[in-house]
Structure 1
Amino acid sequence: MSLVGADALTLSDFRKRVGPDDRIDYIIEALINSNPIMDDITWKEGNLLTGNKTTVRTSRPTPSIRRINRGVKHSKSTTEQVTDTCIILEDRSQVDIEAIALASDKEAFRRSEDAAFVAGFTDSVADNMFYGDTAADPDTFNGLAVRYDKYGGTDKTKPSYQVVAGGTANVGAHNTSCYFVGWGTHATTGIYPKNTVAGLKQRDLGEMTVKDADGLDYQALVTLFNWKVGLAVQDIRANAVVTNIDTTALPSTAAAKLALIEKFVKAKNRIRNLQARDKKVVLYVSDDMYDWFESYLLDKNNVHVTRQELMNDVPRIYFSGIEIKKCDAISNAEMPRSQA
């Protein structure tokens, strides 16, 4: 069963559409709870059995001024096609039947064991969303770090135009990047192969004979997990990156902090149609950068970073109205990006 229509939906949207199903509710809830990015990613059925082919417009037609008794030049837009391939992630949970027998709530105990596998899947998907690299591993897909791998470009049709250097990079692997990601049908979206199902699939295989680390047999209840997943960037200007931030020397003086904030302003303003309602923009950062942004709230010159108090929830922080979220997948050990 695939999603209704061609629009990209979040997992929460998907749950509302399929109706009451305790098993699906559990999986989606576990996915969202284990990694907040899972609540933001939109999902769209690909147009290929292996993924999705996207036609990206690289230039727009240019009209001419029409004069009386004079013709006009013909113009056309230019496009290029990008094929994004999905990967298949799979794993099995094996819970000893004797351990289940000791539990007062057997179903809850088994679910708690399965939840660790769900968390592992979300971590793997999030890692690939940012750092997947088909050149290094043909069995993955290209993440945002590979798609936006250079900074400082001047051609608005190239990804490097969307990448701003945050400062002088550390020459070693001690840098991080912060990603403005616009999730939406015509922006950036997770994909799944044609005629398949969005999200993590769970299949109860029942009691089976399995082997321990020493190759010895025991009986266990086995759950098979499977996820066909990919990433499509249908508008390169839906995203922006602030890169080459030296994590060993984060700005601490007022002038240095302001200089970095100005880089984020510049990157934000590179996003096309930021106010459009067909996409949701989120700023994903590492733990260290989240600490830095939250500390910047105390800066007397701050006008860009704000904090929102929520009833029965932790406060949230925003950059120019865009929510800032910690994402464990984002590394503090990036090598420097080079200039375009």
Structure 2
Amino acid sequence: MPGVLKIILQRLALGVLTLFIVSIVIFTAVNMLPGDFAELILGQGATPEAVASIRRDLGLDQPALTRYFEWLGDMLTGNLGTSFAQLNFQTNMGGGEMKTVVSQIAPRFANTMFLAGVTAAIAVPFALMLGILSALYRNSVFDRFTNIFTLSSISSPEFFLAYILILFLAVLNPILPSLSNIYEGMGFGERLQKTLLPALTLTLVVTAHMMRMTRAAIINLLASPYIEMARLKGMSPMRVIVKHALPNALAPIINVIALNLAYLITGVVVVEVVFVYPGIGQLFVDAVKIRDIPVVQACCLIFAGAYILLNLTADILSVLSNPRLRHPK
């Protein structure tokens, strides 16, 4: 166990270092975006004095290094700042309650997590089932059809799949709503119905990776001596795969599932925009349009943190599920 604990601590330290490096990249990239928020809100007729005044009020006149360390310190305390758009709104409206970046992101992030959860609940069992059946009936018509279907879905852009599903499930056959107008206080059943179409779009995108990795990992183990022994004992092919092959193929399967779950959180921007889903991806696109730097930086940091966390989780679970990794020679 001390060896496993050491491996886990090493992975966590590496994750923290990676997140720190990513924060530098995020800050640099966001501040290199073309355009200026002060000029954007003042319009073309803005005077240099007015632009300078707004930049001074927002702290944009400070050196980049100073602003980065201030942002990093606030981030470590959970303070992601205040939206520039909110500051502009409060100035024009003459005061009122100020909304922080955290209060803006929290409900959107909850919506994105709900979408990712619904997609994972559909995609993971579906992909595992297809992978097991493809391995069981490999080189059959079913196996070839499954491979063609999954490769076609993953090769198509998300927006194309989204519009195809809207055409068949919302226009020609009005089964599901084409727009996901989620709001606070909505019942679970109604929320699920409005989330189902974007969830099906994401399912088509992520199923192929998980299905093909499951199939490849199981087929790779079917030639092992203990699998041959299980067959000689008279066990059914399905039982051999589920009881003997699948548990030993968990490490690569866990990795690919975690990577696709990370995509469900970080790669939902296009799908959320197509379905007007009020998630963090839609908020990110809106913030980029108006150069709202605090919101853009916070969204990027959440995307990076979620991706790194799920990769670390997959790495740790792979170590725990494989005795050879738990006890390296």
Q: TM-score range by the shorter chain?
A: under 0.3
Q: With structure 1 as the length reference, what TM-score do the two structures score?
A: 0.27
Bigger strand share: 1
Q: With structure 2 as the length reference, what TM-score do the two structures score?
A: 0.28
Larger radius of gyration: 2
Bigger helix share: 2
- Structure showing greater relative contact order (alpha-carbon pairs closer than 8 Å, 6 or more residues apart): 2
